Amino acid sequence: MAQNVYDDPAFFAEYSKLPRQVHGLDGAPEWPAIRALLPDLAGKDVVDLGCGFGWASRWMRAQGAASVLGLDLSENMIDRARASTTDSAIEYRIADLDTLVLPAGAFDLAYSALTFHYVENFGRLVRMVRAALRPGGNLVFTIEHPIYMAATHPNWIVDSDGRMTWPVNGYFREGERTTTWFVEGVRKYHRTLDTTLNTLLDAGFRLQRVVEFVPMAEQIRQMPQLAEELERPMMLLVSASL
């Protein structure tokens, strides 16, 4: 079962202050890259896996989605998401992606932002999503990049020229990683890029796009700390279809 750190009050208080929680999708620098991967949403039935406050669920509905089911492990998140809409075509529900059961052939798009790296059994989830999608359906998701996740001490170091350098070790030791993010003991699951992509291929998905998030010059101008994301791949965005 996935860890529910989002219902830890200390974590949630800090997490809620993140730009992407306060400002929604426009607070996420990878959002333009995600948008470019999304299919036309008009008339689509969508499931949002790890919907958080529901920003993307509501945006997809506003783009014409027929229905959006937003799922999240966190009661805090789902409570906030529910309070943010009266649209009966959007449903928010508590669910653990490690044990989730979805109805077969019920969706045209499965979307997930920065959630799958909390899931222990990725293969089970991918096969479940595949069965839940209709023919021609799409899966679009983002995760922390495997290179960002791998190391025992995932913190910037400097090389002999003083250049910011990202450490990689234990790359092929897949499984649990425990990090400090607002609180200690935040549990994630590292998988190689190989495992991530081949799990999709094995489940019958076709890869449409594999994107490594890189900030645009204008984004770095507005938020100079994003410049460090030129040094390492921090997020992986994948678009796959049936």
Told to check if 36 binds a copy of itself by CB under 8 A, we report: no
Q: Please pick, from the candidates 152, 178, 180, 222, the single residue that binds a copy of itself as defined by CB under 8 A.
A: 152
Residue in 152, 191, 155, 149 with CA at minimum distance from that of residue 172: 191
Q: Please pick, from the candidates 101, 136, 153, 184, the single residue that binds a copy of itself as defined by CB under 8 A.
A: 153
Told to check if 209 binds a copy of itself by CB under 8 A, we report: yes
Q: Please pick, from the candidates 17, 42, 135, 161, the single residue that binds a copy of itself as defined by CB under 8 A.
A: 161
Q: What is the enclosing helix (H) or strand (E) of 152? A: none
- Give the chain's radius of gyration (CA, Å): 18
Q: Which of residues 82-121 bind a copy of itself (CB under 8 A)?
A: none
Told to check if 184 binds a copy of itself by CB under 8 A, we report: no
Q: Please pick, from the candidates 197, 220, 226, 242, the single residue that binds a copy of itself as defined by CB under 8 A.
A: 197
Q: Please pick, from the candidates 170, 175, 185, 204, the single residue that binds a copy of itself as defined by CB under 8 A.
A: 170
Told to check if 211 binds a copy of itself by CB under 8 A, we report: yes
Told to check if 223 binds a copy of itself by CB under 8 A, we report: no
Told to check if 226 binds a copy of itself by CB under 8 A, we report: no
d(CA 104, CA 134): 8
State how far the alpha carbon of 144 is from the alpha carbons of 41, 89, 112, 196, 240, in Å: 25, 30, 12, 11, 17
Told to check if 219 binds a copy of itself by CB under 8 A, we report: no
Three-state DSSP class for residue 225: helix
What phi and psi, each to the nearest 5 degrees, are found at residue 188? -130, 170
What is the DSSP annotation of 62-116? Answer: HTT-SEEEEEES-HHHHHHHHHT---TTEEEEE--TTT----TT-EEEEEEES-G
Q: How near is the Cβ of 241 to a copy of itself at its closest, in Å?
A: 11
Q: Please pick, from the candidates 212, 219, 226, 242, the single residue that binds a copy of itself as defined by CB under 8 A.
A: 212
d(CA 63, CA 76): 26
Told to check if 163 binds a copy of itself by CB under 8 A, we report: yes
DSSP annotation of 204 reads: T
Compare residues 111 and 213 and give the one whose CB is closer to a copy of itself.
213
Q: Which chain residues interact with a copy of itself by CB under 8 A? A: 147, 151-153, 157, 159-161, 163-173, 192-194, 197-198, 201, 206-212, 214, 229-233
